[in-house]
């Protein structure tokens, strides 16, 4: 295998993994706080269309990425108000958010079909990307590096910071956290908004980096894969990174194998694999640590404090 080929493969893996990683890290934090937001796909689409719209109208893709985060965070605020303040069911609200995001993004995006945009490409000078090895290090979109930094940041936040400790406590037992005096709802609000912003950023990765265009349902279901990966990673940022890149590896190697003329598996089997693997991981972690799995104990349940 030539160096060029290897580098090309590795870069494709990073490209496929990054949006899943970013959206997944956001959802991971949300779930760690005890909230299940199934609206990732909807928020990603809102981010994708907003990012594209702002980038094309202003000419600044960076501005687009920021706008994507803001727009998706706003969408997640609808979810937050419903499930936190109004204590609505999280599963139903999350599904509604996905339906909402799919519809709204199509409405917003109608005027942007068929045009292209300045992309959020490499940020380093040309000489730093002149050879394959240099390209492997410096040739990515800034979001790829951001994804790696975010992994570190989220890990540090959850495991080393006081705020992260509180967040985990809230997700583990909201009643106990509340009794100690932690602001359960405030923590969850912030977590949901963070998750929304990350989903938006991940969405903008599709419309500004990977496939710089807008078309309805651009993300083609990647939000659900991100949710699966959070579970696959058993709510650990490091494993989230590994899971996202493993997923990117499987997708890329499948396509590489096909491009090289090998068709070993039924394509349907490979498409189902991430979900089967996720169920397997769920079963394993549940069996291994029955009762004390890393899954946030309050996941999906509403909380109401009566003072």
Query: Which residues in the 16-75 window bind other proteins by CB under 8 A?
Result: 16, 36, 38
Let me know how long the chain is.
307
- When binding is defined by CB under 8 A, the residue of 78, 128, 136, 185 that contacts other proteins is 78
Q: How far apart are CA 195 and CA 200, in angstroms?
A: 9
- When binding is defined by CB under 8 A, the residue of 123, 137, 149, 305 that contacts other proteins is 305
Query: Which residues in the 179-198 window bind other proteins by CB under 8 A?
Result: 179
- When binding is defined by CB under 8 A, the residue of 70, 77, 250, 293 that contacts other proteins is 293
Please report how close the Cβ of residue 125 comes to other proteins at its closest, in angstroms.
Answer: 18
Query: Which residues in the 133-172 window bind other proteins by CB under 8 A?
Result: none
Nearer to other proteins, 161 or 175 (CB): 175
Query: Which residues in the 248-267 window bind other proteins by CB under 8 A?
Result: 251-252, 255-256, 258-261, 263, 266-267
Residue 227 sits in the site that holds other proteins (CB under 8 A): yes
Exposed / middle / buried, residue 127 (Cβ in 10 Å: 0-12, 13-18, 19+): exposed
Question: Which window, 52-60, 62-70, 151-159, 275-283, contacts other proteins (CB under 8 A)?
Answer: 275-283
Going from the C-alpha of 305 to that of each of 36, 175, 298, the distances in angstroms are 19, 8, 15
Please report how close the Cβ of residue 81 comes to other proteins at its closest, in angstroms.
Answer: 8
Cβ partners under 8 Å of residue 214, min gap 6? 48, 49, 52, 53, 109, 112, 113, 115, 207
Under DSSP, the state recorded for 139 is -
Nearer to other proteins, 160 or 292 (CB): 292
Going from the C-alpha of 135 to that of each of 61, 139, 173, the distances in angstroms are 21, 4, 46
């Amino acid at each position: 295998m030539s160096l060029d080929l290897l580098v090309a493969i590795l870069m494709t893996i990073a490209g496929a993994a990054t949006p899943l990683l970013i959206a997944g890290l956001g959802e991971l934090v949300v779930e760690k706080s005890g909230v299940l937001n199934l609206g990732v796909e909807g928020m990603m689409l809102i981010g994708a269309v907003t990012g594209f719209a702002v980038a094309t109208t202003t000419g600044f893709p960076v501005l687009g990425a920021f706008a994507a985060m803001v727009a998706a965070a706003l969408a997640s605020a609808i979810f937050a108000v419903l499930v936190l303040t109004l204590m609505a069911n999280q599963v139903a609200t999350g599904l509604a958010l996905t339906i909402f995001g799919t519809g709204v993004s199509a409405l917003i995006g109608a005027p942007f079909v068929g045009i292209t945009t300045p992309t959020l490409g490499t940020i380093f000078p040309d000489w730093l990307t002149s050879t394959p090895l240099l390209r492997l290090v410096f040739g990515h979109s800034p979001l790829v590096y951001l994804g790696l930094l975010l992994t570190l940041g989220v890990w540090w936040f959850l495991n080393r910071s006081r705020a992260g400790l509180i967040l985990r406590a809230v997700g583990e037992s909201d009643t106990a956290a509340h009794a100690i005096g932690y602001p359960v709802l405030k923590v969850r609000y912030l977590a949901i908004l963070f998750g929304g912003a990350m989903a938006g950023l991940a969405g903008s990765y599709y419309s500004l980096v990977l496939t710089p265009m807008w078309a309805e349902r651009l993300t083609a279901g990647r939000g659900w894969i991100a949710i699966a990966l959070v579970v696959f990673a058993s709510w650990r940022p490091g494993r989230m990174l590994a899971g996202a890149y493993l997923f990117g590896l499987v997708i890329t190697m499948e396509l590489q194998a096909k491009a090289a003329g090998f068709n070993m598996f039924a394509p349907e089997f490979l498409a189902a694999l991430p979900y089967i693997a996720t169920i397997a991981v769920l079963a394993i972690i549940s069996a291994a640590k029955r009762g004390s799995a890393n899954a946030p104990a309050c996941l999906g349940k509403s909380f109401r404090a009566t003072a």
